[in-house]
Amino acid sequence: MQVNGAMLIGAGEAWTERRFSAPGGDTGFSSAGPDEAARACALAEAAFPGFSETDPAARAAFLEGVADAIGEIGDALIERAMAETGLPRARLEGERGRTTGQLRLFAEMLRRGDWADATIDPAMPDRQPLPRPDLRRRNVALGPVAVFGASNFPLAFSTAGGDTASALAAGCPVVVKGHPAHPGTGELVARAVRHAVAQAGLHEGVFSFLPGETNELGGALVADPRIKAVGFTGSRGGGLALMRIAAARPEPIPVYAEMSSINPVILLPAALKARAEALGPAFVQSLTMGAGQFCTNPGLVLAVAGPALDRFVRAAADALAAAQPQRMLTPGIRQAYEQGVEALERHAAVELVARGCVGEGQDQASGALFRTDAAGFLGDQALGHEVFGSSSVVVACRDLDEIARVLAEVEGQLTATLHLDPADEPLAAPLVPLLQRKAGRILANGWPTGVEVAHAMVHGGPFPATSDGRTTSVGTLAMQRFLRPVCYQGLPDGLLPPALRDANPWGLPRRVDGEWRGA
Amino acid sequence: MQVNGAMLIGAGEAWTERRFSAPGGDTGFSSAGPDEAARACALAEAAFPGFSETDPAARAAFLEGVADAIGEIGDALIERAMAETGLPRARLEGERGRTTGQLRLFAEMLRRGDWADATIDPAMPDRQPLPRPDLRRRNVALGPVAVFGASNFPLAFSTAGGDTASALAAGCPVVVKGHPAHPGTGELVARAVRHAVAQAGLHEGVFSFLPGETNELGGALVADPRIKAVGFTGSRGGGLALMRIAAARPEPIPVYAEMSSINPVILLPAALKARAEALGPAFVQSLTMGAGQFCTNPGLVLAVAGPALDRFVRAAADALAAAQPQRMLTPGIRQAYEQGVEALERHAAVELVARGCVGEGQDQASGALFRTDAAGFLGDQALGHEVFGSSSVVVACRDLDEIARVLAEVEGQLTATLHLDPADEPLAAPLVPLLQRKAGRILANGWPTGVEVAHAMVHGGPFPATSDGRTTSVGTLAMQRFLRPVCYQGLPDGLLPPALRDANPWGLPRRVDGEWRGA
């Protein structure tokens, strides 16, 4: 497959006069605008009625076709992504496995069938004082979905990443705004998706890919009346802008924006005392992984001040000073990171503990570790804001109560982590209810980076971690974001959707009078 | 129980200087304002940690206690509601049964346990290339909820109606803004809820009741940072105002507003030909029930023009002329209704077919039936807006394609209804996919008024029928509006919530590695 900088609108290819370049590449990529957004949305709308009612087995086979086609790009995909993002080969190979794995997991989920939530309350013609009608409910797809790829996961959260996979699984056609930081990677994956659409005999409008670097393109997509939901992973400013556009539409639509999080890590006393020297380097490994460019990067550490915390900080500082410098994804991300770090360095209430080595070459950034106390942290809301990259602040608290007070003030988070020994459990117990109001995932004795794609995963959390804390963008539950329930009352069997017909031709598990029954 | 016009803030009673009166009553009711909203929200927040983690059996018993306490008010409740709303005794007795019935259904649902969506992906320590951690997920309550009662269901959609019942079931404390059209009815029910809170030994902040007639009160409730979701049933203007306030908060929150719907009814040719004379009066019965003051009132009839439609219209006109006049809920609702009907009477593209009898006494309103054609209907968006009351417009279309074109233009709806004979099924088949994009419930050979409280019910639909078409405000699924998922990764068993502990002390059904297992 070749990259030529085209927009892929349904089965068609098109170019614009205006072009932009990727980091490390010489292809000129078309910069799509509102006209192309409108064409892609029109095709998506045309594809919707058929695609949304494909039977689950056919849709599962299509998702597996997408996974296969991504695999078939082979090493060209990894090399392109390495050139565009600066991420190392092993990381990108792992991310590719995750990308195809989640497509296959949604396929499995589709065949399992409980996503449809098929529910039947049979008629009770003799009920007094009034008969009960036959009532049947199932989930239907929302409509065409606009997906905004993330810069930091060029495969797993981009063109055919979690948002696209879950929307397609739900039966929603997808229009992707390709991320300008990795347009060639995006185009390769988009060509693979398009190939799978054709192989499956689906309507071309099921998938379109619009490379672009303007806010105008994104705004046009979200404002298009044919778009019924939005998936976004990126900055708080970007997510808030899309939320405003979506809320101001004549018909407001849901925006699933995954935005910002500092992912507090709480080191409890017994664990800290027993393992300070081991926790320090482990923390730094999580902090510096991928140059800290993870939504789940641990940007805040809370512990009780004292010798054990000092030992942890020293061990972390040593590990950070020894950590390899890394290239960041784009010049803009590096600049924002450096500005964030400089603001912390200048901050009167904050002390710089360590910086990582400074590397040579494009967009190199070095890690940064800071220290303050609870009064310092609570005295300036800005200290609770995300610095995207490998920067973290240790807050030394007087006692557990002060840790709880700091936690009560932090904003909504994707994750919160406890490091504890058995002796710490009584101290941790009152923190768990506090953490579950603040975060979508609570970890013990692990690190928040690394998000398993699983049934039980929640990669979400209260605002501003996401725009909608009732959802997740990773794991099988993510599909529910793109579904809505419809009830059918007294319909003749022939007019019911297959999911609800008496003969259950799709073999779905169904809830009858409130009790689940297997297919 | 006695009505004294108090605000019930937790276990306390308080009065304000400013008072208002209910229709047909002489009690002066306290008009709560922002200060009282803040006190109720503070108590709700204080109640949240404990109440949200009550075990399901205890919460179920509490809901049954609320139902019992409402029943124990006895005839005083019915008489008060009759005086305040003008609704007849039989209707209010039925509504009381529905109110207590839905509380008991949520209790049953809580004991059944699948609302928690408890999901476990066990650890795989030997997985390659990386081990899988132990991941467990369950639903938690969102936080304190503000409920705005509806005028048209003084029991089932008001103080302890569907929104309150589903929020309490989810574990959310509730602050009710009592509807000023039936404040005494509201106070009686609120006293019953409060009694049940005390009987169950729950925190007083689990429930507060604020009577009031100002937008300031409602705005303060929705803006309060302790409120995490809003349930509302009422006008489009009111719902949109609350959506704006909620979206503008520093932390935006979900608003579940059930707003406006004209509930199209499509009469297919064979059914119309065979049963025009029966369909006419049946339609009028649905149209005039409760003086047309239902969200699901059939305000739009679509059929192919011709002799059969003329027979239907004549039969409907005769039935409407013979229908008893009815009192509307408030002077304001009657005035808005008359204005809507007058606008239709004056409309150049619309013909008045019939009016009902004019009654004597307070706030009497008579039904109104109009007729137009597809061009007339499509030529003015205002004809697609709800006239709250027993007014309906018949749109005579050239053919089925024209019916489909009209349906494509109508806004989101709570319901859409087909009347059809077996010979009509091939004609109806292409309409169903269209209708399911427009409505939350599709009926065949029934009438949209009368909403069963059941597992399969959807009382919701795309905007502007509701603010959030992914949800329902009637039926057991309504509880999901007030829940969000939280994932626990690697937590020691003692720190896990009971729903996810190895021993499963609450006996919940749980999904393990994607497969449901009974308790």
- Can you give the pLDDT at residue B519? 54
Q: Per this entry, what is the length of chain B?
A: 519
Q: Quick check: A446 and B133 CB within 8 A?
A: yes
Q: Quick check: A428 and B112 CB within 8 A?
A: no
All residues of chain B having their beta carbon less than 8 Å from the beta carbon of residue A487 are 440-442, 456-458, 472
Q: Does domain B7-14+28-259+470-481 have CATH number 3.40.605.10?
A: yes
- Can you give the pLDDT at residue A238? 95
- Can you give the pLDDT at residue B24? 67
All residues of chain B having their beta carbon less than 8 Å from the beta carbon of residue A420 are 492
Note whether A263 contacts B: Cβ–Cβ < 8 A.
no
Mean pLDDT across chain B: 96
Q: Quick check: B119 and A412 CB within 8 A?
A: no
Superfamily in which the B264-444 domain is placed by CATH: Aldehyde Dehydrogenase; Chain A, domain 2 (3.40.309.10)
Residues 6+ apart with CB under 8 A from B119: A455, A456, B136, B137, B138, B510, B511, B512
Which among A243, A432, A456 has the least Cβ separation from residue B120? A456
Residue A58, SS3 per DSSP: helix
Note whether A458 contacts B: Cβ–Cβ < 8 A.
yes
| Closest chain B CA to residue A418 | B491
- Can you give the pLDDT at residue A516? 87
Q: Which helix (H) or strand (E) element contains residue A165?
A: helix A162-170
| Residue A423 C-alpha, separation from nearest chain B C-alpha, in angstroms | 12
- CA neighbours closer than 13 Å in the CB half-sphere of residue B79: 6
Q: Quick check: B429 and A491 CB within 8 A?
A: no
| Residue B352 C-alpha, separation from nearest chain A C-alpha, in angstroms | 31
Is the predicted pLDDT of residue B452 greater than 60, yes or no?
yes
All residues of chain B having their beta carbon less than 8 Å from the beta carbon of residue A137 are 455-458, 477
Q: Quick check: A455 and B121 CB within 8 A?
A: yes
| Closest chain B CA to residue A133 | B452
Q: Quick check: A120 and B456 CB within 8 A?
A: yes
Which two structure tokens, joined as six digits, stand for B271? 């059914």
| Residue B124 C-alpha, separation from nearest chain A C-alpha, in angstroms | 12
Q: Which candidate, B368, B69, B495, B54, places its Cα nearest to that of A418?
A: B495
Range B473-501 average pLDDT = 98
Cβ burial, residue B494 (10 Å; 0-12/13-18/19+):
exposed
| Closest chain B CA to residue A495 | B429
Strand B7-9 and strand A28-30: the pairing is: unpaired
Q: Which A residues 428-447 touch B at CB under 8 Å?
A: 428-429, 432-433, 436-437, 439-446
What confidence tens digit (pLDDT) does each residue in B76-96 have?
A: 999 999 999 989 999 999 999
pLDDT < 50: residue spans in chain A: none
Sign, Cα dihedral of A301, A305, A307, A310: positive
Interface A-B: count of C-beta contacts within 8 A: 212
Is the predicted pLDDT of residue B335 greater than 60, yes or no?
yes
Q: Which B residues 385-414 touch A at CB under 8 Å?
A: 411-412
What is the 8-class DSSP label of residue A500? G
Which two structure tokens, joined as six digits, stand for A456? 């039980």
Residues 6+ apart with CB under 8 A from A389: A291, A292, A293, A297, A328, A333, A334, A336, A337, A340, A341, A365
Q: Quick check: B455 and A511 CB within 8 A?
A: yes
As a whole-number percent, the residues of chain B with pLDDT over 90 amount to: 93
Which among A109, A132, A467 has the least Cβ separation from residue B452? A132
Range B24-40 average pLDDT = 91
Q: Quick check: A458 and B487 CB within 8 A?
A: yes
- CA neighbours closer than 13 Å in the CB half-sphere of residue A191: 17
Sign, Cα dihedral of B197, B258, B113, B494: negative
Helix A236-248 crosses helix B236-248 at what angle (to 10 degrees)? 170
The catalytic residue among A36, A64, A258, A402 is A258
Active site annotation includes A295: yes
Range B410-417 average pLDDT = 97
Q: Quick check: B455 and A513 CB within 8 A?
A: yes
The highest-level CATH class for domain A27-259+470-481 is: alpha beta
Q: Which helix (H) or strand (E) element contains residue B419?
A: strand B413-419
What confidence tens digit (pLDDT) does each residue in B248-307 have?
A: 999 999 999 999 899 999 999 999 999 999 999 999 999 999 999 999 999 999 999 999
Residue A5 contacts residue A15 (beta carbons within 8 Å): yes
Note whether A503 contacts B: Cβ–Cβ < 8 A.
no
Where do the domains of chain A lie? 27-259+470-481, 264-444
Bond before B464 cis per omega within 30 degrees = yes
In angstroms, the CA B282 to CA B285 distance is: 5
All residues of chain B having their beta carbon less than 8 Å from the beta carbon of residue A513 are 455
Q: Which candidate, A259, A261, A262, A264, places its Cα nearest to that of A407?
A: A264
Q: Quick check: B108 and A514 CB within 8 A?
A: yes
All residues of chain B having their beta carbon less than 8 Å from the beta carbon of residue A490 are 443-446
All residues of chain A having their beta carbon less than 8 Å from the beta carbon of residue B436 are 140, 486
Note whether A136 contacts B: Cβ–Cβ < 8 A.
yes
- Can you give the pLDDT at residue B461? 97
Place of tokens 């109104």: B368
